[in-house]
Amino acid sequence: MDTGEEPAWRAALRALIAHKLSELGPLDTHELARACQVNPDAVAPRMSEMEALGLARDTGRRHSSVSGKGRKLKVWEAIPARTE
C-alpha cells in the first residue's frame, strides 16, 4: 500500500551524500557510492533529487566510467547552505 510518503532511507541517504560532498569535495556517483558504502544504483537517483532540492549541483566536469567505456560520469558538488 502506497501512503505517498517518501521512504526514510532516501532522505537519510541524501543527508549522507550531502555530508560526504561537503567533507570530501566534488565527487562522481561511483566515488560517492564508495564513500557512502552503498551501491552506485542507489546514489544516481538521489543526485537528481538533490539537484532539484538545491542541495547539489553538476560541476560541469566529467570522469570516465569505471570501465572506461560508455557515458562519462557527472562530478557533483555540494551547494552550501544559506545563512541569512
Q: How does pLDDT run along the chain (84 residues), one tens digit per residue? A: 556 788 999 999 999 999 999 999 999 999 999 999 999 999 999 999 999 999 999 999 999 877 777 789 999 999 987 766
Query: The whole model's pTM is what?
Result: 0.85
CATH code, domain with 58: 1.10.10
Domains identified in the chain, total number = 1
Residue 81 lies in a domain: no
Residue 61 lies in a domain: yes
- Its domain, for residue 53, covers 17-68
Residue 26 lies in a domain: yes
Q: Tell me how far apart the alpha carbons of residues 26 and 79 are, in angstroms, rounded to a whole number.
A: 11
Residue 38 lies in a domain: yes
